[in-house]
């Protein structure tokens, strides 16, 4: 019987939690009595990006990986009936953790998941026990050349500048994001690209993604607040970074050492979605980090 209980804890469960008018899809594994690890995905991904990491952690941790509104299998109201901003995503995710009674957790963030997580940490710093950032930025020097056309949209949110970004939420763009900067492209699972392309290209979702691109400027504006949180609270932090990411540069990872002198920063010879190519190596580093700080 004991063996079957342990085996059941290691199984990944696929669930929904109704949070206001959002039906949040999430993946869950591990003993609910164990320390919690909250995995927040970004663009162009969903909780599927953590499919291999979750089993690596579930024997010791209670792992929760939700899909953000507008992504994955989470069911959210359409544009105009839900405010697709990072403030709103953070409020939804905060309520999600409260409904699941996650009183404290380590947080792993990636891309969009980072500013969502930083807002959650600002609101409730006492809940965050440790942070892992995989290409999740918090410093202006981390913004790469890939942001140039998006920054034009921030400065002048005209229909013309929005139209210039119409190719961003497309299958071709998503494929590029998965493969750019990757040496051995055979390591990238084509089903990951296909799944995320299908989900992002759902009817009406392209406009949602362009709204979030515009609102990303609010994250950059809040960088000083996020950095103040890091300095004041000194959360244990591990940055695991695909160094060839066209969006988030290695300088953004190194910058944490200014605010958190004890931050651990590691680089990998890959692109934006580093777990796709270096999941085994990075997973081991994350496991060791969590074992060190979640006692």
Q: Which residues are catalytic?
A: 272
Cβ distance 176 to 271 under 8 Å?
A: no
Q: Which two tokens stand for residue 58?
A: 């579930």
Quote the CA–CA distance of 208 and 142 in Å, as a whole number. 25
Q: Which helix H or strand E contains 24, and what residues bound it? A: strand 22-29
- Number of H helices and E strands in the chain, helices first, is 13, 8
**What is the b/e burial string over 199-219, where b = at least 16 CB atoms within 10 angstroms of the residue's CB?**
bbeeeebbbbbbbbbbbbbeb
Quote the CA–CA distance of 31 and 191 in Å, as a whole number. 29
Which candidate, 228, 253, 248, places its Cα nearest to that of 238? 253
CA torsion angle 265 273 250 26 (round to 10): -60
Which candidate, 128, 51, 55, 44, places its Cα nearest to that of 93? 128
Cβ distance 118 to 138 under 8 Å?
A: yes
Using the structure block, give the residue that is written with the tokens 């995989």: 134
Half-sphere exposure of residue 259, counting CA atoms within 13 Å on the CB side? Answer: 23
Which stretches of 126-255 are DSSP H helices? 148-155, 159-163, 171-179, 190-200, 205-221, 223-233, 250-254
Q: Which helix H or strand E contains 241, and what residues bound it? A: strand 237-242
């Amino acid at each position: 019987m004991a063996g079957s209980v342990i085996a059941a804890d290691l199984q990944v469960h696929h669930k929904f939690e109704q949070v206001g008018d959002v039906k949040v899809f999430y993946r869950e594994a591990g003993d609910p009595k164990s320390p919690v690890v909250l995995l927040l995905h970004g663009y162009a991904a969903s909780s599927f990006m953590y499919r291999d990491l979750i089993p690596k952690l579930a024997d010791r941790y209670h792992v929760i990986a939700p899909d953000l509104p507008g992504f994955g299998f989470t069911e959210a109201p359409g544009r105009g009936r839900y405010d697709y901003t990072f403030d709103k995503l953070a409020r939804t995710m905060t309520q999600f953790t409260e409904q699941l009674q996650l009183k404290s957790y380590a947080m792993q963030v990636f891309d969009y998941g980072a500013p969502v997580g930083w807002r959650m940490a600002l609101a409730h710093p006492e809940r965050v026990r440790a942070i892992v950032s995989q290409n999740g930025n918090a410093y202006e020097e981390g913004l790469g050349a890939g942001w140039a056309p998006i920054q034009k949209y921030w400065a002048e949110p005209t229909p013309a500048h929005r139209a210039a970004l119409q190719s961003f939420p497309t299958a071709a763009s998503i494929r590029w994001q998965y493969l750019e900067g990757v040496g051995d492209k055979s390591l990238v699972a084509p089903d990951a690209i296909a799944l995320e392309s299908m989900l992002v290209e759902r009817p009406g979702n392209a406009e949602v993604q362009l709204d979030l691109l515009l609102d990303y400027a609010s994250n950059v504006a809040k960088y000083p607040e996020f950095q103040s949180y890091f300095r004041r609270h000194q959360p244990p932090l591990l940055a695991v970074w695909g160094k060839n990411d066209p969006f988030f540069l290695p300088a953004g990872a190194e910058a944490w050492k200014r605010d958190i002198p004890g931050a651990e920063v590691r680089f990998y010879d890959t692109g934006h979605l580093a777990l796709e190519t270096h999941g085994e190596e990075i997973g081991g580093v994350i496991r060791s980090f969590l074992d060190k700080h979640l006692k």
